[in-house]
Structure 1
Amino acid sequence: MSLKTTNIFNYTDFLSFLKDAFQELKEKDSKFSQRYIVNRLGINSTGWLADLFSGRRLLPRKHLIKFSSLLELSAREELYFETLVEYSQSKSLQEKNRAYEKLLTFHEIPRDLVDNDRAEYFDKWYYSAVRELLLIAPFRGDYTLLARKLVPPITQSQAKQAIELLERLKMIKKYANGEYRPTVEHVKKNSIFSSIHYYKYVRSQMELGLGALDHFPKEERDISALTVSLSEESFQTVQDDLKALRQKMIQLSEKDNKKFWDVLKKDSRRIYQCVFEVFPATKNEGDK
């Protein structure tokens, strides 16, 4: 049974596509249940599809092909579906980047779904640093001065590149007095495809952190390490606490931006880079 309204090229997540596709088919034919689907795929477990949709199970290639046949995807649609799965299930940044480049070759994807320019914002660490800096010190055209204000310093051409990108993305704008200032206080990544750039951004932040150990005195930084044992429940608690801390830092930043907007006050703000890492150092019990 072919799809009419669910267009795979409007999706950047293969699981979201499958859920919507099966919902459409079920509305057309009530027999299109999860049991019917797994039987068509030749799978004995009735909970297999629920595990896939919840992220507890990966989609192997043999079932990918059967899904394509079940949904009557064209050759082009099947290739896009396969690439989406490859992107989602890639284990390394190199594999994910390779799949991402392949996805960009599909001209059927809506322009706003990929949003290359906005994703590029996370491609270099200094793009976000320059944008944040403009909250403190508006840019007036001196690229050399702007480049020197960052730690580590960037080149004049990199500073110019950052301003041009930020202006193109409408993250900053030039006011009547000639100053460039941010249009919003904070930026979020929106497209799932921007994650490949975000991973590079996080990695570059981690590298900056290594340099910060030697460059800044301990009074100006907070870098520490800890090794602990945690249950799944405790790890979830840590994740929730870190999320709350990130939100708290954003709130403090917004409060400071309002506080120091009056130029008559002494402005003590600086731009800080923050990287939070909590990851397993051992395998799960029972893993080989």
Structure 2
Amino acid sequence: MKLIFGYSDYRDFIRDYFEERKKHSTFSWREFNKLAGFASPNYLKLVCDGKSKLSKKRAGFVAAVMNLSASEQDFFELMVAIDNTTNEADRKALTLELRKMARKSKARIIDADAYVFYESWKYPVLRELAPLMPGASSKKIADVCHEKICAEDVENTLQFLVNSGFLEKDEKGRYTQTDANVTGSKESLPRAMREMQRQMAALAEKAIGKFSKDERHFLGITCGCDEETYKKVTAELEDCRDRITAITSAAKNINQVFRINLQMFPLTKKV
């Protein structure tokens, strides 16, 4: 079982802890709950299945049963706090604090890095652009971007991408992507992407007047839908995104970075 500092979801940690103990003993959910002081013999199983939550007080009980050290308990309770908060600003601050604690133990939390990655258009753009310009200076990379960015920002952004594992840099200063796509937990990544979606929508608005029809492609449909049709259309959009991703991943002679927005949103209230 890996160290707790490699987790971003306390439910995953509890589940792994339970499975590890069960391998070497007759440990059961009933016993686990009893040791933690819960009347229900199935409470922690419901928590791990996402059907219930831990309070800060109850998190302390569970941490005691798992014999966590002081720093491990702090980390565990921080994961619980992130899951419980409904305030986006608080969630971001807590997640970044989780990242700091993890780094002290040389562990990387992708969800925390995702918050930073999606804070600005420059992170995904430079992640795509830098590998296309091997050995290029930060100034040259900045000059290629349509949006204004200085050489210092490019340098700092690339440093973050390398430190966080989104890019690798060799001894000759050439960058390569570590993975084809950026991933994180299905809970945290959509929250982190909201700011990026706002920024990319603003860039799309600029692009209408900034580029000729030969350089950009815009399509739109205004249509009526019910709930079932909405689900079918959004599923089709997701399939389209996946097919496009497969096409672009197979590209051999990439020479430019683009953004593709697939959007569907309500224009009226329900009638």
Q: Same fold (TM over 0.5)?
A: yes
Supply the distance in 2 between the matched residues of 1:116 and 1:38 (Cα, whole angstroms).
29
Cα 1:175–1:227 shift into 2, 3 Å: farther
Verify the 8 A CA contact 1:213 1:223 in the aligned structure 2.
Answer: no
Cα 1:271–1:92 shift into 2, 3 Å: farther
SS of 1:113 mapped into structure 2 = coil
**Aligned residue number for residue 212 of structure 1:** 204
Match of 1:100 among 95, 98, 106: 95
Cα 1:47–1:274 shift into 2, 3 Å: farther
Match of 2:16 among 5, 16, 20: 20
**Aligned residue number for residue 257 of structure 2:** 271
Verify the 8 A CA contact 1:6 1:21 in the aligned structure 2.
Answer: no
Supply the distance in 1 between the matched residues of 2:166 and 2:6 (Cα, whole angstroms).
25
Verify the 8 A CA contact 1:147 1:159 in the aligned structure 2.
Answer: yes
CA RMSD of aligned residues (A): 4.2
Residues 178-209 of structure 1: per-residue CA shift (max 9 Å, x gap): x956456724246x6xx57x855551342231
Residues 63-99 of structure 1: per-residue CA shift (max 9 Å, x gap): 3233223334344332221111112333333122221
Unaligned runs of at least 5 residues, structure 1: 262-268, 282-288
Verify the 8 A CA contact 1:202 1:275 in the aligned structure 2.
Answer: no
Between 1:48-57 and 1:109-118, the stretch displaced more is 109-118
TM-score of the aligned structures, taking structure 2 as reference length:
0.69
Supply the distance in 1 between the matched residues of 2:265 and 2:45 (Cα, whole angstroms).
27
Matches within 5 A, 1:73-152: 73-106=68-101, 110-114=105-109, 121-134=117-130, 138=133, 141=136, 143-152=138-147
**Aligned residue number for residue 284 of structure 1:** none
Supply the distance in 1 between the matched residues of 2:126 and 2:257 (Cα, whole angstroms).
9
SS of 1:15 mapped into structure 2 = helix
Verify the 8 A CA contact 1:185 1:254 in the aligned structure 2.
Answer: no
Higher relative contact order (CA 8 A, sep 6+): 1
Between 1:88-97 and 1:32-41, the stretch displaced more is 32-41
Supply the distance in 1 between the matched residues of 2:265 and 2:9 (Cα, whole angstroms).
24
Verify the 8 A CA contact 1:131 1:172 in the aligned structure 2.
Answer: no
Amino acid at match of 1:210: A
Identity of aligned residues (%): 17
**Aligned residue number for residue 38 of structure 2:** 42
Cα 1:139–1:158 shift into 2, 3 Å: farther
Verify the 8 A CA contact 1:125 1:205 in the aligned structure 2.
Answer: no
Cα 1:184–1:272 shift into 2, 3 Å: same
Unaligned runs of at least 5 residues, structure 2: none
Match of 1:188 among 182, 188, 194: 182
Aligned length: 257
Supply the distance in 2 between the matched residues of 1:103 and 1:92 (Cα, whole angstroms).
16
SS of 1:106 mapped into structure 2 = helix
Shift of 1:129: 1.1
Verify the 8 A CA contact 1:11 1:17 in the aligned structure 2.
Answer: yes
TM-score of the aligned structures, taking structure 1 as reference length:
0.66
**Aligned residue number for residue 171 of structure 1:** 167
Cα 1:243–1:47 shift into 2, 3 Å: farther
Cα 1:205–1:116 shift into 2, 3 Å: closer
Shift of 1:104: 4.2
The answer on 1:160 being equivalent to 2:152 is no
Matches within 5 A, 1:238-257: 241-255=236-250, 257=251
